[in-house]
Amino acid sequence: MKLIVLGSGTGVPSLERNAPGYYLQVLDRECLVDCGSGTLLQLERMGRSCQHIDAVFITHTHPDHIGDLIPLIHALKVIPGFRREKVLSLFGPPGFKQFFDNYIATVASLPKHFGVEIQEVDRVFEYAGVHCQCVPTVHSESLHSVAYRFEVGGRTVVLSGDCDYDEGIIQHSSQADLLVLDCSFINAHKYPGHCSAGECGRIAAKAGVKRLLLTHLYPVHGAEDSRLGEARAEYGGDVRLAEDLMEIEV
């Protein structure tokens, strides 16, 4: 699998860190996990195109995670000389279908020459030969949120979406080769619904993951070294801060 960080940031506009979005190539499929505003431009910066995206896995419907969904569907209809025929698969947590019908489909107007398939995810599902799992995360009282786990060929990637510390995300991440984890704040700025850096380290240690990538980084002056230090105080493995356009082979 190949992971590219398209957005290591949040809903706070930033020239350094785009809103959340990840490109995941798995087997012959090109996927996005979350699709915040700017995701399509970040794909272009990587020399890739939204034309080829097969599936989008949405962790939850907060605006910073879905801002480019309407532009994605629109782009697939209007790129000159391009006629998409393959289905676009969209996965999301409970409530996603209603959200799509109410807010996305009404603005994007659905294409006639390719299908858009919406699937609300349950605990375990298959996508194109990839074993996928999701688990609810502790994040918001007003909507559902999930973390995803993708397994293929003995390799495992987990992307948490937005989450607070809990046993569910620890078990979900067990022995993963790569855990991409919400690290919104340093310990002193802990905010409910998001992990602090120390909590990220503790989750990685308890889950026994091989690599930890800290992401969803709120712009807090001077916090970047603190984040790494606080995570490393809890977790002795390989831990890094996500950067936009970073590529990781798993």
Footprint of Zn ion (CB under 5 A): 62, 64, 162
Amino acid at 229: G
Residue pair 25/55 in contact by the 8 Å Cβ criterion: no
Residue pair 148/218 in contact by the 8 Å Cβ criterion: no
Residue pair 61/104 in contact by the 8 Å Cβ criterion: no
CA-derived radius of gyration, the chain? 17
Q: Work out how close the CB of 62 gets to Zn ion at its nearest, in angstroms, rounded to a whole number.
A: 3
Nearer to Zn ion, 62 or 84 (CB): 62
Q: Work out how close the CB of 23 gets to Zn ion at its nearest, in angstroms, rounded to a whole number.
A: 18
Q: Work out how close the CB of 143 gets to Zn ion at its nearest, in angstroms, rounded to a whole number.
A: 8
Q: Work out how close the CB of 37 gets to Zn ion at its nearest, in angstroms, rounded to a whole number.
A: 12
Nearer to Zn ion, 62 or 172 (CB): 62
Question: For the range 27-33, what are the long-range contacts, defined as Cβ-Cβ under 8 Å and sequence gap of 24 or more?
Answer: 27/128, 27/129, 27/130, 27/152, 28/128, 29/54, 29/55, 29/127, 29/128, 29/130, 30/54, 31/55, 31/56, 31/57, 32/6, 32/56, 32/57, 33/57, 33/59, 33/148, 33/159
Q: Work out how close the CB of 162 gets to Zn ion at its nearest, in angstroms, rounded to a whole number.
A: 4
List b or e across 79-99, with b for residues whose CB sees 16 or more CB atoms inside 10 angstroms.
Answer: eeeeebeeebbbbbbeebeeb
Q: Work out how close the CB of 190 gets to Zn ion at its nearest, in angstroms, rounded to a whole number.
A: 16
Report the residue number whose CB is nearest to Zn ion: 62
Nearer to Zn ion, 62 or 144 (CB): 62
Nearer to Zn ion, 17 or 62 (CB): 62
Nearer to Zn ion, 76 or 160 (CB): 160
Nearer to Zn ion, 76 or 134 (CB): 134
Structure tokens at 148: 């995803």
